[in-house]
A and B are shown apart, each in its own frame.
Chain A
Amino acid sequence: MSIEVRNVSKSYGRFQVLRDVNLDVNTGELMALLGPSGCGKTTLLRVIAGLETPDTGTIRTHGEDATSRPVRERKVGFVFQHYALFRHMTVFENIAFGLRVRARADRPPETEITKRVRALLDLIQLDWLAAHYPDQLSGGQRQRVALARALATEPRVLLLDEPFGALDARVRTELRRWLRRRHADLGVTSLFVTHDQEEAIEVADRIVVMNAGRIEQIGSPAEVYENPSSAFICRFLGHVNLWPDAVDAPGQVRLVRPHDCELLRADPGMGALAITVKAVRPAGPLVRIEMQTPGQVDFLEADLPRETADRLNPVVGETLYARPRRIRVYPS
């Protein structure tokens, strides 16, 4: 086990940011941390890194108690949400910093430092910006430098706070794949925060979802997506329709994912809703239909495979019948 978080709580003044958090990240695992803004993701990362002391609980990294260890000895790579690059150092010096501050005995020679920094600059595709200062870079460029800086010391544990947030789709995919590969090669352990559920589902071995300082669910992407343990997670991961129902079911919410929604021209009876088509939007292999039931303000959404949509050929304004293939019921 590379990172073990045990019963960690943390408050700022009267406001409790982390509530009894327990989390294990296995060696070599790439774990995604998801949650709404302000739920305590950054705080949890800072506690693991040792930048904040938890009020209660312990942190173990590599099997040893890290709670009382000074930050500099924890050997944790950290990518800050707001980059935190050294503003008076060039990109090159920023990346080299972690190597240069080592004690003389294990500091690599200057040629080796240059070689490593160059390699990282190649990786993030910013070799032409080596002599620039952080305030001369765009957000996405800064983010990549922050990533390279954290990687330069080759830490065994990486904590990444939205490391790809400001990048364009292509660079993002590239760095994501690279991170994946590196995991397979080196056995680094990473915990990364992301707001992008698709990213989490695509690269992470496991996903942990937080809400209001608590961990709500931990599991593989498929597990968390297919069997959300609460209405909150179901809504948080991917689109979901709040399904209106003929049967009154007090104290329950009924949720239906757009791709679990079938559209039919003829009323199939039991459980189907009459809806009016409001918009038809082709998106890649799927076609998204926006629709409305009489007496409801909110739109519902259905994702149909392109073929099915072509066969059905829905027209804006016409009335169809929507039948959920799967309804998830949660206590409200």
Chain B
Amino acid sequence: MPIADTSRLPSIREPRPIRFLLVAGTLLYLGAFIFLPLVQVLVMALSKGWKVYAAAIVEPDALSAIWLTLGVAAVTVPLNTVFGVALAWAIAKNPCRGRRLIATLVDLPFSVSPVIAGLLFVLLFGRQGWFQPWLEQHDIHVIFAFPGLVLATLFVTSPFVARELIPLMESQGHEEEDAARLLGASGWRTFWSVTLPNIKWGLIYGVILCNARAMGEFGAVSVVSGHIRGRTNTLPLHVEALFNEYNFAAANAVASLLACLALVTLVVRAAAEWRVRQQRAAAERNRDEH
């Protein structure tokens, strides 16, 4: 069904010069703060040729950083996905007392500086930390090791999925779930066949954002990692190490990997949005046929 074409109605649009200024300003801003740095990274990465670029990436410390980053993401993203869905479900679908407070607490990791978050884990699990005696007894290393990186990343990335889902689930209400239960579906079945399909795209989007942050996190991870090359340096930490050694070509080469991640995130996101639009369009076509 065609909605009135607003471009034909000059009265409700801004005058031409203002429109032009606004668009130009936005593009300039985007170019200066997003596009230029990206280009700069690529230019610097390739400034000494493909060979140096490739060498910087396949070098053992870099490879170890890549694997470590993938490993941390592989653990944190699924955990935070489950946590986020469960939390959003609890807040949005159950009108319980204190849900507003919980919803605010969800955002806590966003309002705390990541460095503070890292410090928190050092205070808990580090040398003089609360759990140190117990950890020592069982010979478990948390700080300056993989578990510490996972914990810090978990904390920092925990809000992404929940934040994406809470407003979505709240707007959808719980009537469909009510209907499913009345028709005899178990709670589990209701979740899989009614709740989950309804939040699919929001969930995918939240997971993408969560993953991007898990791989790109610097502050919290920096505090708990200990910067042991080839062992506890994730990609962003490795970039920093190379940068501090004035090894700009290598630093930018590794950084370009993270930039690629950003681009992949963008593409997947665009694809997700495109799919939603396509479904809508198909729906419109179907309707028009009748």
Contacts and interface: CB of A to CB of B under 8 A. Distances in A.
Interface string B41-69: 00000000000000000000000000000
A51 B194 contact: no
B283 interface: yes
Given A88-B197, A101-B189, A153 B183 contact: yes
Nearest to A76: B182
A84 B286 contact: no
Contacts of A71: 178, 181-182
Interface string A57-78: 0000000000000011011111
B247 interface: no
A41 interface: no
A15 interface: no
Interface stretch (A3-11, A130-138, A170-178, A256-264): A130-138
A84 B178 contact: yes
Contacts of A132: 286-287
A17 to B, nearest CB: 14
B175 A84 contact: yes
B231 to A, nearest CB: 46
Interface string B270-290: 000000000000010011001
B26 interface: no
B180 A80 contact: no
B179 A78 contact: yes
A82 interface: yes
Contacts of B189: 101
B176 interface: yes
Interface in A196-225: none
A141 to B, nearest CB: 10
Contact of B176 (A51, A87, A128, A129): A87
A34 interface: no
A255 B103 CA distance: 54
A102 interface: yes
A98 interface: yes
Contacts of A133: 283
A80 B283 contact: no
Among B176, B184, B198, B200, the most chain A Cβ lie within 10 Å of the Cβ of B184
Nearest to A128: B290
A88 B194 CA distance: 8
A80 B181 contact: no
Interface string B104-131: 0000000000000000000000000000
A4 B200 CA distance: 41
A78 B283 contact: no
A101 B185 contact: yes
A323 interface: no
Contact of A87 (B183, B185, B198, B290): B198
B182 A49 contact: yes
Interface string A102-131: 100000000000000000000000001100
A73 to B, nearest CB: 8
Contacts of B290: 128-129
Nearest to B182: A78
Interface in A77-97: 77-78, 80, 82, 84-88, 97
Interface string B152-196: 000000000000000000000001101111111110010001100
Nearest to A146: B179
Contact of A136 (B179, B184, B283): B283
A149 interface: yes
A51 B286 CA distance: 35
B211 to A, nearest CB: 24
A213 B190 CA distance: 31
A77 B194 CA distance: 18
B183 A98 contact: yes
A128 B286 CA distance: 12
B184 A82 contact: no
B182 A82 contact: no
B184 A72 contact: yes
Q: Closest 8 interchain pairs by CB?
A: A98-B183, A84-B175, A101-B185, A88-B197, A84-B179, A71-B181, A78-B182, A136-B287
23 contacts: A46-B178, A49-B182, A71-B182, A72-B183, A78-B178, A80-B175, A80-B179, A84-B175, A84-B179, A85-B179, A86-B193, A88-B197, A88-B198, A88-B200, A101-B180, A101-B183, A101-B185, A102-B184, A129-B290, A132-B287, A133-B283, A135-B283, A153-B184
Interface of A: 46, 49, 51, 71-72, 74-78, 80, 82, 84-88, 97-98, 101-102, 128-129, 132-133, 135-136, 149, 153
Given A51-B178, A128-B290, 15 more contacts: A72-B182, A72-B186, A74-B182, A76-B182, A78-B179, A78-B182, A82-B175, A84-B176, A85-B179, A86-B180, A86-B194, A88-B200, A97-B193, A101-B193, A136-B287
